[in-house]
Chain A
Amino acid sequence: MLIAENLTYTVKKHTILKGINFVIHPGEVVALLGANGAGKSSLLKLLSAEQVPSEGQISLFGTHLKSYTAISLAKMRATMAQHHQVSTDFTVAEVVMMGRYPHYNNQPQPNDIATVQETMLLCGIDHLAERSILSLSGGESQRVHLARVLAQLWGQPRAILLLDEPISAMDIKFQHHTLAIARTLAEKGWIIVAVLHDINLAAQYADRLLLMKNGRKLMDGTPSEVLNSRNIYTIFGIDAEIVVNPKTLHTYIVPKALSSVALPGTL
């Protein structure tokens, strides 16, 4: 169980996050939604222990996040960052193997090697195994890092996977594939928290949506609870229609196209 209590995060007098509370249970996929700069990535950084909250606290599986050692945390928490730039031309398989680093000392063990192969297969990158990571497209590279963070947690009965815009560069097939992987792993008992920009994908795959604005949590609930035209307008400032698929009962939003934009200056 992941419990966030009264999280506040301040950087140089700028309040990035303010008074955030929530509880996430194993088995849940939670999507963080909000406009650019709403504090989604910062919240993820607090949850991943990359940054420390200025106030409030986070507990993971009954223990304060700060009480974990770096290595024990690395075995149960993995984070896929928003941007990746690998500096050296490692092969894809070597990068995925880095996910196993917390699990072995010098030589990868047979189960580390098996894990890397399984997660590469799962993410559809097994055919790229020997390619240089620097030669891949944006979407392929995202799949490699997904395979790496999955490898980091592979075989753990309880784990928390934090994904910051994991599908932003993927094609539509792998967007669905990736979120389906997240869904399946949640059903195995993992906690999944993902920052997403595609509200419809979030609504289809997440159990809960956490809507954020200006560093605060504004709404928290199932897609059908929180997705309505007023909330969408409050969070994103766009007009959208809400549609419910009568077969699946999934909620969709259909944003209204803007007719034109007033250009500044004298263009």
Chain B
Amino acid sequence: MLLNNLLLKNKLIFVGLALVLCVVSLLSLSFGALNIPLKQVALNLAHHLGVSTTEPVDELYSGVMDLVRWPRTLLGILVGAALGMSGAAIQAIFRNPLAEPGLIGISAGASLMAATIIAFEFVFFSTLGSLFGHYLLAAGAFLGAGIATLLVYRISLHHGKPHIGTMILAGVAINALAGSLTGLISFASDEQQLRSITFWMLGSLGNASWYTIWTILPFVALALVGLPLLAKALNSFSLGEQEAQQLGQNPQQNKLRVIVLATLAVGATVSVAGIIGFVGLLVPHAVRMVGGSDNRYVLPASALLGSIILTVADLIARTIVAPSEIPIGVVTALLGTPLFLFILIRDKKKFAA
């Protein structure tokens, strides 16, 4: 029965995505500069789960996994889930399939702050040391994301209500402004700084550590729990704000909730992993193509698919030119663009209408 709660099909998609995520996570734990046999991955997993094993755990493999691979894999999952789900929610409140978290200034604000900190790092590093510099970069990027989004949001307020059309235009303007300032800083930077800025703006999970996991977990978890609670509200946005209001919703409050949750989650991920494009835009599309538009399904499925894509992209990014790494944003865009163009051409009529 088609109306009966969530379709069986959607449930099967959840199960399928969860299985794929498990598989790619195992691969991510296994492959890298040092290839760890899957058997050792299994032993390590069993060890963490408290299952006693007959074979001893190899110290070297286990050490690499606990120190490097686990944080990196988990970071990929968290970042992907945050980007995927936030993207789906932002598209719903903007009533626009081409919206993404970057549209409201999150990425641009974070980039500007990050570039500023990188370019002026000699000021900080000479006095504060490089470890603090690293956290300063993350905190600054988070702050930048928040300020830019707040600015876009405040500009869009009309009689106390955020106006979506204005918000998109304000977002474009703030993006352009932050982009040009970032460009100006890049222009004034030396070779090394330029490389750092570029690398940061293309994203990387290279900073993964247990510390980064614990740092972003609260922000990401808040969104992963909070956004699905708004699924019905997000569905009713597709009718228009007046209609949503007639259904007893408070669209203004819901918009603010989504923006706050998405900014916290995406801002946190950008602060540790840089800008990773296309995931927030594409993942929800792919999810809707397969299983329909009900946000009770789209939001969790986008989180799962986002995690899968980030994990796979990171695996490619760090193995294809091992022991060196290419930026993950390059991989997601390379994989994502053909898919996006495919959707665009297939649904041309819908976008044109």
Point out residues on A near B: beta carbons under 8 Å. Answer: 48, 50, 70-75, 77-79, 81, 84-91, 93-95, 97-99, 101-102, 106-108, 113, 116-117, 129-130, 134, 152
- Given A50-B245, A84-B243, output 14 extra A-B contacts at Cβ < 8 Å: A50-B246, A70-B248, A71-B248, A74-B248, A84-B240, A88-B92, A88-B95, A90-B235, A93-B2, A94-B235, A94-B293, A94-B294, A98-B235, A101-B248
* A81 and B240 form a contact (CB under 8 A): yes
Closest residue of B by beta carbon distance from A134 = B350
CB of A90 within 8 A of CB of B237, answer: no
| B242 at the binding interface (Cβ < 8 Å) | yes
Q: Let me know if B3 is at the binding interface, CB within 8 A.
A: yes
Q: Which residues of B contact A (CB under 8 A)?
A: 1-5, 92, 95-97, 231-232, 235-240, 242-243, 245-250, 288, 292-294, 296, 350, 353
Residue picked from A75, A88, A97, most chain B C-beta under 10 Å: A88
Q: Sort A-B residue pairs by CB-CB distance and give the 8 closest, nearest first.
A: A74-B248, A87-B95, A71-B248, A88-B238, A102-B248, A88-B293, A87-B238, A70-B248
- CA–CA, A152 to B239, complex, Å? 14
Determine whether the beta carbon of B238 is less than 8 Å from that of A90. Answer: yes
Residue from B4, B5, B246, B288 within 8 A of A78 (CB atoms):
B246
Interchain CA distance A70-B241 in the complex, whole Å: 14
Tell me the complex Cα distance, A74–B231, Å.
Answer: 18
| Contact partners of A89 in chain B: CB under 8 A | 288, 293, 350
Q: Is the interface of A mostly helix, strand, loop or mixed?
A: mixed
B2 near A129 with CB under 8 A, answer yes
Q: Which of B96, B236, B350 meets A101, CB within 8 Å?
A: B236
Q: How far is the CA of A192 from the CA of B341 in the complex (A)?
A: 48
- Please report the C-alpha to C-alpha distance between residue A99 and residue B237 in the assembled complex, in whole angstroms: 13
Compute how far the CA of A89 lies from the CA of B296 in the bound complex, rounded to whole angstroms. Answer: 15
Q: How far is the CA of A100 from the CA of B97 in the complex (A)?
A: 25
User: Do A152 and B247 touch across chains, with their CB atoms under 8 A apart?
Assistant: yes
Q: Which residues of B contact A108 (CB under 8 A)?
A: 3, 5
Give B176 Cβ to nearest chain A Cβ, in Å: 25
Say yes or no: B246 contacts A97, CB within 8 Å.
Answer: no
How far apart are A21's CB and chain B's nearest CB, in angstroms?
24
A72 to B247, CA, bound (A): 10
Judge whether B246 and A87 touch: CB under 8 Å: no
Q: Determine if B293 and A101 form an interchain contact, defined as CB atoms under 8 angstroms apart.
A: no
Distance of A242 from chain B, by nearest CB (Å): 37
The 10 listed contacts between A and B (C-beta, < 8 Å) are: A70-B250, A73-B248, A84-B243, A87-B97, A90-B293, A98-B247, A101-B249, A108-B5, A113-B3, A129-B2
Q: When the two chains form their complex, are residues A130 and B96 in contact, meaning their CB atoms are under 8 A apart?
A: no
Q: Find chain A residues with CB under 8 A from B246 CB.
A: 48, 50, 74, 77-79
Known interface pairs A84-B239, A88-B293; A130-B2 also in contact (CB < 8 Å): yes
Is A87 touching B237 in the complex (CB atoms < 8 A)? Answer: yes
Residues of A within 8 A of B293 (CB): 88-90, 94
> Complex formed: what's the CA distance from A246 to B84 in Å?
67
Nearest Cβ on chain A to B155's Cβ, whole angstroms: 21
Give A264 to B243 CA distance when docked, in angstroms.
40
A103 to B12, CA, bound (A): 28
Residues from chain A with Cβ under 8 Å of B231 in the complex? 106
Inter-chain contact B240/A85, CB cutoff 8 Å: yes
Cβ contacts under 8 Å, A71 to chain B: 248
Chain B residues lying within 8 Å of A107, measured Cβ to Cβ, are 5
Q: Choose among B239, B288, B296, B353 the residue that contacts A95 (Cβ–Cβ < 8 A).
A: B239
Are B3 and A93 touching (Cβ within 8 A)? yes
Contact B242 A101 (CB under 8 A): no
A75 touches B248 (CB 8 A): yes
Smallest Cβ distance from B254 to chain A, in angstroms?
A: 12
- Which residues does chain A contribute within 8 Å of B242, judged by CB atoms? 50, 81
Residues from chain B with a CB closer than 8 A to the CB of A81 are 240, 242-243
Q: Which chain B residues lie closer than 8 Å to A106 at the CB level?
A: 231-232, 296
Give complex CA distance A99, B246 in Å. Answer: 10
